[in-house]
Structure 1
Amino acid sequence: MKVLLFGASRGCGLEAAVQLVERGYACTVFLRDPNALDARLKAADPALVSVIKGDAFKADDVRAAFESIQGGPDIVVTSIGGRPAFGQNVFSPPLVPEKICERASQILLPALQKSTIEQRGGKAIRLIVVSSSGLGKVGHQELPMAMKPMYGWMLKHPHADKEQLELAVYHAAGLKHPDPSIEAHASAAISPAAEGANTATATLQEFIMVRPAFLTDGPRTEGKYKADPHLVSWTVSRADIGQFIAKECVDKDSKWLNQAVTVGY
């Protein structure tokens, strides 16, 4: 099984890469700076870890990452995301870089489609996306009461960006977003044809939208987490999101296929 990971220099993507390699999956890590490769991956079996240098905002770089894997990847994991700039506005900090998830999806989804057609002869590539809990009207209602102000104000801009990411994925799969309040905010920029996708052919056949609860740097708990499309949860560690991806998202018969699932304690 061959896995291509974007955003795996840190956080959930890194934890997923480490645990996928532990399970024997061959992982190609896409990094702006190859020197940023985590020590755990540097120490892993070199037959299971490859690094490709590139910028997720450059279509040629992203296509090259797919083409570097003979026969194309079986799985793509993206955990690309920005950080709120609290120094600029503590109550509603802007996202840095701006619209990072939306912009990256406009490059990634067409490249995935191209690889599906040209490298894999139409065989599906599964896309695993790290999004967030608390998105949209439905997600906000499912948050613990005490967390709603933080998600509504402090994380307003990062969550708006995640909503556009989710919309891009659902639309690439030929689906409407299950939360009408998110669907209503669809941007014209999320069209999967943006970077030359072949709209005459099915684009995204398999995806899993992973929606972590509020992320912490806690340890891997070996199964303490819970997962459900409508889970009400406070927190989850990045290590356990990596565990969830490595254990429950890559299996051929994953029960989470083509849906969004919230993961937390």
Structure 2
Amino acid sequence: MSSSNTNTKKTIAFLGASGGVGLAALTRAMAAGHTCIALCRTPSKLTDRFPEAQYPNLKVVQGNAHDVVAVARCLFSPSPSTSNSPVAKPVDMVMSSIGGQFQFAKMTIDDPHVCENGMKTLLSAIDKVRRDHAAALGEKQWRPRIIVVSTCGISKAGRDFPLATLPIYKFMLKVPHVDKLAMESLLTGAAAEKDYSYSIVRPSLLTDPAVPDRKIRVGVDEKPEVGYGISRDDTGRWIFENLLGIEGAYENRVVTITW
């Protein structure tokens, strides 16, 4: 599925878009004309790359993905939904690609709960928006689409990685995998309880740089694909082409992608 199949322009909030997978998806979403709101602890990482004069459809919000107030500020489009309404329109989608820095000396990440706490914060921010702007939202329930970048190696449906990489997945990445599982559990639980729509993307081992013209293989739910790796750029491209701006694609599904 390609970007030509996208529907109307969307408003998309990005958490963790200053590099890697998030940046790859953000860059393509902006080029396609979607309104993008990106949370960034150091805004210059994005504003230096994307000057406002050249990228008017990007709004950069300073803040941390573990700050409920900061995340809530990203959940509205920069302009009001109607000329008569003082309240901005809530976003259509949220993409979260936050993660920690791996520390080889300790075989862990700098924040072992970065994704879990990030999801708690995002869900709390959505609740805050629903609560604070209930009158403006009216009777129509705001149902944001949440897209998260997770990882292979945690599937309960069967092995989704080559046997040769078992030591990496089962030992070296044990701590971040626990964090990703906690994030996924929070998201799927909230989706069932509070009527969220979600897509969980599990790429195989992320690599750099990009390799042109590599075929991306896709597995869904209990039938994951098995592969050694995929670039961050291809992961972001796949998310853009298949999830961002498209209604219903892989809705409430777990998707594995690999070369």
Identical counterparts, % of pairs: 30
1:234 CA drift (Å): 1.2
Partner residue, 1:123: 142
For the residue of structure 2 that corresponds to 1:29, the secondary structure is: strand
Partner residue, 1:257: 251
For the residue of structure 1 that corresponds to 2:256, the secondary structure is: strand
Partner residue, 1:53: 62
TM-score, structure 1 normalization: 0.81
Q: Is the 8 A contact 1:248 1:254 kept in 2?
A: no
Q: Separation in 1 of the partners of 2:53 and 2:185? A: 36
Q: Does 1:159 align with 2:177?
A: yes
Partner residue, 1:241: 235
Partner residue, 2:84: none
Q: Is the 8 A contact 1:102 1:161 kept in 2?
A: yes
Counterparts of residues 67-146 of structure 1 (less than 5 Å):
67=76, 69=78, 70-88=88-106, 93-115=107-129, 118=133, 120=137, 121-138=140-157, 141-146=159-164
Cα RMSD after superposing both structures? 2.1
C-alpha distance 108-221 of structure 1, shift in aligned 2 (>3 A): same
Q: Deviations over 1:102-150 (max 9, x none)?
A: 11111101212443563644132111100011114435x2211101111
1:222 CA drift (Å): 5.6
Counterparts of residues 183-262 of structure 1 (less than 5 Å):
203-219=194-210, 221=212, 224-229=215-220, 230-262=224-256
Q: How many residues align?
A: 233
Extract structure 1 runs of 4+ deviating beyond 6 A: none
Segments of 5+ residues of structure 1 without an aligned counterpart are 175-201
* Structure with bigger RCO (C-alpha 8 Å, 6+ apart): 2
1:168 CA drift (Å): 0.6
Q: Is the 8 A contact 2:217 2:258 kept in 1?
A: yes
Segments of 5+ residues of structure 2 without an aligned counterpart are 1-9, 79-87
TM-score, structure 2 normalization: 0.82
Alignment-mate amino acid for residue 211 of structure 1: R
Q: Is the 8 A contact 2:25 2:236 kept in 1?
A: yes
1:72 CA drift (Å): 1.2
- Relative to structure 2, which stretch is displaced further, 38-47 or 227-236? 38-47
Q: Deviations over 1:5-40 (max 9, x none)?
A: 000111111111011111111111100111121754
Partner residue, 1:148: 166
Q: Separation in 1 of the partners of 2:195 and 2:208? A: 32
C-alpha distance 29-147 of structure 1, shift in aligned 2 (>3 A): same
Q: Deviations over 1:23-62 (max 9, x none)?
A: 1111111001111217543388322111000111221211
For the residue of structure 1 that corresponds to 2:12, the secondary structure is: strand
